Amino acid sequence: MRGVFPLTILALCASATTQDSLQAKVQQAENERRTCRANLQVIANAEMAHRVKTRGGFTSNLKLLDDMFEMNPTCPNGGSYSVVVGVPSDSFTVHCSVLSHDAGALQPAGYSPEIHGRYENSEAYEQMRQRDPHRATCRANLQTLSNAEIAHKVVHGEFAADLSLLVESLQAMPVCPDGGRYHAVINDPLNSFTIHCSIKRHDAGVLEPRGYSPGRNTR
Ligand SMILES: [Zn+2]
Ligand SMILES: [Zn+2]
């Protein structure tokens, strides 16, 4: 029996280290996402300045915004930025090609001052993050996976029941900050799906059914 103790201690140390490096990875990814969201906002501000300066509309040609920046905003994960000008032309959305950066907190993908700006700069958002930052990060991950499902269907004609198939449109698989596992349920007739986290607190909707499904449960 004497030999058991050192082994147990070793195992405990190993799992603590794994947990620490998981937390560090999650924190780093979250910091990179925040930097990128701030860039999206910088580009949005430049769009608004461009419209004033040209007395025209918004532009999807980012090169035209170059003289608005002291330094061009750069995605920390090498994503590329684009702008979709809305119809009517008095709206626009800025996107990053990295899906986890592009995902809104509770809103559609991308960044538009009207939809995302108000919320992401609001006290309600900060409170939600502070109340349960792990859940907030995990819900953003569920949205990232959901966006990747939609991209997968465009390319392959169907949603992926196996989430590992989504890695082609994600630069890295999102990691639940509490070590939960993600899985997808594809509903008949194959035109809807729900992404789940195995941690119940993350999976629970605010007022909606469990999981994350676009258009039905996004909070
Ligand atoms: Zn980015
Ligand atoms: Zn989770």
Domain spans in the chain, listed from the N-terminal domain onward: 12-123, 133-203
Query: Does residue 121 surpass a pLDDT of 50?
Result: yes
Average per-residue pLDDT for the chain: 82
Q: Which ligand is nearest to the CA of 101?
A: 1
CA distance 155 to 177: 30
CA separation (Å) from 179 to 96, 104, 165? Answer: 26, 22, 20
Distance 193 CA to ligand 1 centre (A): 26
Q: What is the CATH number of domain 133-203?
A: 3.30.1300
Burial class of residue 45 (count of CB atoms within 10 Å of its CB; 0-12, 13-18, 19+): middle
Higher pLDDT, 67 or 216: 67
Cα-trace Rg, the chain: 20
Q: Residue 2's pLDDT is what?
A: 46
Distance 98 CA to ligand 1 centre (A): 5
CA separation (Å) from 180 to 59, 142, 196, 211? Answer: 41, 11, 9, 13
Section 117-146 average pLDDT: 81
Query: Does residue 198 surpass a pLDDT of 90?
Result: yes
Q: Residue 62's pLDDT is what?
A: 94
Distance 74 CA to ligand 1 centre (A): 8
Residues 6+ apart with CB under 8 A from 151: 99, 166, 169
pLDDT band at 97 (very low <50, low <70, confident <90, very high): very high
Distance 64 CA to ligand 2 centre (A): 41
Distance 115 CA to ligand 2 centre (A): 25
Q: Residue 183's pLDDT is what?
A: 96
Section 95-111 average pLDDT: 84
Higher pLDDT, 200 or 117: 200
pLDDT tens readout for residues 152-186: 888 888 899 999 999 877 877 899 999 999 999 99
Q: Which ligand is nearest to the CA of 139?
A: 2
User: 28-32 long-range CB contacts below 8 Å, 24 or more apart?
Assistant: 29/100, 29/172, 29/174, 29/175, 30/137, 32/76, 32/77, 32/101
CA distance 144 to 161: 15
Percent of the chain with pLDDT over 70: 84
Distance 61 CA to ligand 2 centre (A): 38
Distance 147 CA to ligand 1 centre (A): 15
Burial 112-146 (b: 16+ CB within 10 A, else e): bbeebeeebeeeebeebeeeeebbbbbbbbbbbbb
DSSP type of residue 115: I
Higher pLDDT, 206 or 189: 206
Q: Which ligand is nearest to the CA of 138?
A: 2
Q: Residue 89's pLDDT is what?
A: 56
Distance 115 CA to ligand 1 centre (A): 19
Ion ligand 1 nearby residues (CB, 5 A): 36, 75, 79, 96, 98, 101
